[in-house]
Amino acid sequence: MFLPQKIESLPATSVLTIKRLKSLGIQTYWDLLNYFPSRHEDYSAISPIGKVQEGEKVTIKGRILTVKNNYVRKRLTIQHITVSDGTGTITVTWFNQPFLLRLFNPEAHISISGIIKKHGKLIIEPKEYEILKNADQDTVHTGKIIPIYPAKRGLSSRTIRDKIFSVSSVLKEKRGNDFEILPETIVKKHRLIDESLAYKNIHFPKSNVELEQAKKRLAFDELFIIQLSAKLVRLHWEKEKVGNLLSVKKYQKKIDEFVSSLSFTLTAGQKKVIKEILTDLGKKHPMNRFLQGDVGSGKTVVAAIGSLVSYLNGFQTLFMAPTEILAGQHYKTLLSLFKNTPVKIGLQTASKKFRKDADIVIGTHALLTKSVNFKKVGFVVIDEQHRFGVRQRAILKEKGSNPHLLSMTATPIPRTVALTLYGELDLSHLDEMPQGRVPIKTYLVPNQKRFDGYKWILEKVKKERAQVFVICPLIEESIVETLQSVRAATKEYEHLKKNVFPALRLGLIHGRMKSKEKDEAMNKFKEHQYDILVATSVVEVGIDIPGATIMLIEGAERYGLAQLHQLRGRVGRSDKQSYCLVFTDSNDPARLDRLSFFAKNINGQKLAEYDFKRRGPGNLYGVEQHGYDSLSVASFADYALINETKEAVTGFMKTYSLEKLPALKDRVDLFQVHRIAQD
């Protein structure tokens, strides 16, 4: 690996700083070099002190004339120095930084970057400073385009800059072929700059052009490595042998019979995806397929047909859902789908022992960690997951069967993102809704219409026996539900019950309830013992209550559109007209525009693209939930570069062998280790 030195060997670095760097995930010089600035400040204009003008952003250099410390009052001290360079003298002031006095000695050479202000006379408001050994010493923090790093965990941008600067000087000495990861022909063809130069210039560019070239080079590397890595995983998987070979041809008639026994006709989209899956299932190497399909597009029956093939061949299916509620729901759905067949369906819960005799075992993702072996497993379905990774595939292999794998999600993911990030998987897309669905009507309800909204709901419940979800605002974006969100939901529930809908029956559900309590609340709602279910966003994924026809979302502006879409998908699951009321207190035009776009559009893909273009993938679904591994330099919105790198990877695979390019191999390995850690 390039620059594998541990940060412990950084010169003049305190133990505390090392500890803090480590808490940012920085272990080696290489990691440090890959900690990119969030922006740059241009302090490259160096001005004689006598020539500075009010408002200028400049660097001045000179010698310290005087140093003074003024005690003003408790908690306020002022540090003044005067600096002169022969053309003039200027005063510089800091507040509450007495430690500076130790650095600032009269006669010392100093360089200061800041803004020129007028307080009677011209002064410089310092942003960055540094003491120099002599007038000609190279500067790090001033007099240049300066990188600004996100200050975190007690580390200032300055400290990080210092450390990266010292590492980047090693880089200059080391410049040479051992650092370049790409073959020269690729570098030339795509007009990339030298890799070591890119690493230097992403931190310390001399001009904006240099910075842009560095970004392009590193973005190219990033996308190249992601896609190359995916291709390699794919090649590797294609060489694997499936544990339990399935025959599809032999059972085609039985499959057709099953399809005709269904109470509905498959959509053309379902037929297309089923065909893709059946083709895969007949192969000697395991399927790795990722099925994307909007809420309600009918993914479950597609998975059921795969399960049937596994059963007909004498093997089991594992069917995994993210929560016990969803597992329970799949259990009921599959029972009904298979009711005219001998297929035995088993529901695995936290407390129950693994059912070895069931043909389809349904449970949460915890099934994978069960200490049972899966020798008899022919097919595995993972519902509501963005992707499965190398690690999950390896677990299944270890447990004995190396089965065919299908993961499914209703989360809309822009196509370019899916193709780039999930390149190792085959993608299927259900882009059609079953016929006869009545499109949900969505209304944006500003605060002043809140009361009318409630009145309208009350009437719907009284006259049409409508059932209503009330979703509370996202308080904090977090993977687990925070206590704060739970409290807010509880409060909202009390409020609605007491002040708004005293005549109606209300229930409450949130993520901190025991799964038994959750089930109970869900069931009561399903059996129409509640008119209104107040919930945190736990109901987001997959819950099926056909009787619910009104979805009220509070604080809607806090949710990503993809997430709102998931929530809206909880209604409209019957032939009745359903409604989604989007409540917001926000008056911000951009936010309101976004919400009206949501109100007007029912296509999940379109909504995801909308947010994606404006906010970037990291913000689509809230922290971590999105499942996109965030990019550090490249952008998913950069279609041109994504395509360019994709072609470069295809060309590379034809011409080169990774084994002969150790620097690139190292980088691909490193990427895969990181990615597996996230699986």
Interface segment toward Mg ion; rule CB under 5 A; list 69-77, 305-313, 420-428, 537-545 = 537-545
> What is the closest distance, in whole angstroms, from the C-beta atom of residue 302 to Mg ion in the complex?
10
Query: Quick check: 88 binds ligand ADP (CB under 6 A)?
Result: no
**DSSP 3-state assignment of 92?**
strand
Q: 175 to each of 21, 190, 210, 665, 676, how far by Cα in Å?
A: 25, 20, 17, 19, 31
> What is the closest distance, in whole angstroms, from the C-beta atom of residue 364 to Mg ion in the complex?
14
Site for ligand ADP in 512-551 (CB under 6 A): 544
Q: 598 to each of 544, 574, 627, how far by Cα in Å?
A: 22, 21, 22
Report whether 557 contacts 342 (CB < 8 A): no
Query: Quick check: 328 binds ligand ADP (CB under 6 A)?
Result: no
Query: Quick check: 293 binds Mg ion (CB under 5 A)?
Result: no
Query: Quick check: 466 binds ligand ADP (CB under 6 A)?
Result: no
Nearer to ligand ADP, 531 or 544 (CB): 544
Strand ranges of the sheet holding 532-535, from the earlier edge strand across to the other edge: 441-446, 579-584, 548-553, 467-471, 532-535, 506-509
Among 282, 296, 400, 511, binds ligand ADP (CB under 6 A): 296
- What does 434 interact with, of Mg ion, ligand ADP, none (CB < 5 to 8 A by kind)? ligand ADP
Nearer to Mg ion, 306 or 542 (CB): 542
Nearer to ligand ADP, 457 or 567 (CB): 567
Query: Quick check: 631 binds ligand ADP (CB under 6 A)?
Result: no
- What does 270 interact with, of Mg ion, ligand ADP, none (CB < 5 to 8 A by kind)? ligand ADP
Query: Quick check: 604 binds ligand ADP (CB under 6 A)?
Result: no
Q: 361 to each of 318, 601, 666, how far by Cα in Å?
A: 5, 37, 40
DSSP 3-state percent helix, strand, coil across the chain (nearest 5): 45, 20, 35
Query: Quick check: 264 binds ligand ADP (CB under 6 A)?
Result: yes
Q: Output phi, psi for 71, to 5 deg.
A: -90, 115
Among 62, 293, 389, 414, binds ligand ADP (CB under 6 A): 293
Report whether 603 contacts 296 (CB < 8 A): no
> What is the closest distance, in whole angstroms, from the C-beta atom of residue 518 to Mg ion in the complex?
18
Query: Quick check: 298 binds ligand ADP (CB under 6 A)?
Result: yes
Among 542, 572, 604, 617, binds Mg ion (CB under 5 A): 542
Report whether 368 contacts 395 (CB < 8 A): yes
Of 459, 353, 441, 411, residue with least CA distance to 608: 411
Query: Quick check: 157 binds ligand ADP (CB under 6 A)?
Result: no
Nearer to ligand ADP, 259 or 658 (CB): 259
Q: Which residue is nearest to Mg ion (CB)?
A: 542
Q: CA-CA distance, 677 to 352, in Å (whole number)?
A: 30
Interface segment toward Mg ion; rule CB under 5 A; list 227-235, 311-319, 446-454, 536-544 = 536-544
Handedness of CA 659, 661, 664, 670 (dihedral sign): positive
Interface segment toward ligand ADP; rule CB under 6 A; list 45-53, 103-111, 242-250, 288-296 = 288-296
Burial 408-426 (b: 16+ CB within 10 A, else e): bbbbbbbebbbbbbbbbbe
- What does 645 interact with, of ligand ADP, Mg ion, none (CB < 5 to 8 A by kind)? none
Handedness of CA 298, 304, 306, 309 (dihedral sign): negative
Residue in the block written with tokens 């059932």? 467
Partner residues linked to 241 by β-bridges: none
Footprint on this chain of Mg ion (rule: CB under 5 A): 542
Residues that bind ligand ADP (CB under 6 A): 264-267, 270, 293, 295-301, 410, 434, 544
